[in-house]
Amino acid sequence: MSTDVESARSSQPTPEYSDELHAEVLEDLRIGEHGYKYRLVEGIVMPPFITPSRYALSRTIETRPDDICYNGYPKSGTNWLANILVRLVNQGEAPSDRTLRDSVHWVESSIEYPRSKAELDAAPSPRIFHSHMPFHMALGGDPLGNPCRYVYIARNPKDVAVSYFHFESRAPWAGQYDGEWPHWLSMFLGGKLQRGDWFDHVLGWWRHRDAPNVHFLRYEDLLRNFGAELRRLGAFLGYDLSDDVVRAIEERTAFANMKQDSFSNLREISELSHFFRKGVIGSWKERFTVLESEWFDEIYRERMRGSGLDFDFV
């Protein structure tokens, strides 16, 4: 069985990122320090592949009541959440004829299975959308004014910064960025990385966490208390999950299994061949010096003050 499934799943490798293929308006591209490539969309730093036409489509798409859009700042566990959601709406199973990234729609992006408006309109429900946008740039326009359900995942920003450094160093869509870690950290804290300022991104969604169509979860809670978090997510989406389905989803989406499963290992996307790095809480300690950590903590305390949101760093 696995041989047929393997070949079906691996039959559509996505092309590597190139400006010519994926950036649409090349004149918009900017190059920052250490070659960091980006474009500005509504004044926010974005990857070159968030093109004007894809972004416009993502903002104007007509959403349905059973649509699900998962979202998060990059490196917050969004692909893990994708696997959970795809299985949640399908009794714990994964589709046999496609990969995880092919099972979701990434509308704002011109790479990885970009679908036309007609294809999106024809896609069967429940449609699951992948997004990394701040609240005010969300898929479907104003989240509070359309029926889509939004699931936002946030992760402690020290681990995000380190994971993002590994992910974008030398990445073609980031201009082969070649800065060292201290430079990257200053870019992160200065809101200069693609998708903009982490604090604005997370707090923008957090402020709307009690809206009936917004569900906010933390990566660390999912790691520590998977069953309870999954049931909370299921209840939000209107799925009553049996113990067997909860167990199946927990097992199949565990880091080690996702990494080797042809459905979820993202191997068809060559740039993501090292995607599964650690999948733990606290890997920031490998990079941060004591001084950097103290600097970070000071800014974190200041920016998070009064929000009621906190994270687990160890």
As annotated, the active-site residues are 132
Total residues at interface with ligand A3P (CB under 6 A): 20
Is residue 178 a contact partner of residue 34, using CB atoms and an 8 Å limit?
yes
Least Cβ distance, residue 264 to ligand A3P (angstroms): 8
Q: Which of residues 72-91 bind ligand A3P (CB under 6 A)?
A: 72, 74-80
H runs (alpha helix) in the chain: 2-9, 19-22, 52-60, 78-88, 117-122, 157-168, 181-189, 198-206, 219-224, 226-237, 243-252, 255-260, 290-304
Give yes or no for residue 191 binding ligand A3P (CB under 6 A). no
Residue of 34, 192, 208, 277 that binds ligand A3P (CB under 6 A): 277
Euclidean distance between CA atoms 111 and 115, whole angstroms: 10
Least Cβ distance, residue 167 to ligand A3P (angstroms): 7
Give yes or no for residue 71 binding ligand A3P (CB under 6 A). no
What string marks each residue from 146 to 185 as x (binds ligand A3P by CB under 6 A) or -?
A: -------------x---x--x-------------------
Q: Which stretch binds ligand A3P (CB under 6 A): 63-71, 120-128, 201-209, 270-278?
A: 270-278
Whole-angstrom CA distances from 214 to 66, 126, 181, 259 are 13, 16, 34, 29
Complex with ligand A3P: residue 78 or 146, whichever CB lies closer = 78
Least Cβ distance, residue 307 to ligand A3P (angstroms): 21
Sign of the dihedral defined by the CA atoms of residues 55, 57, 63, 66, in that order:
negative
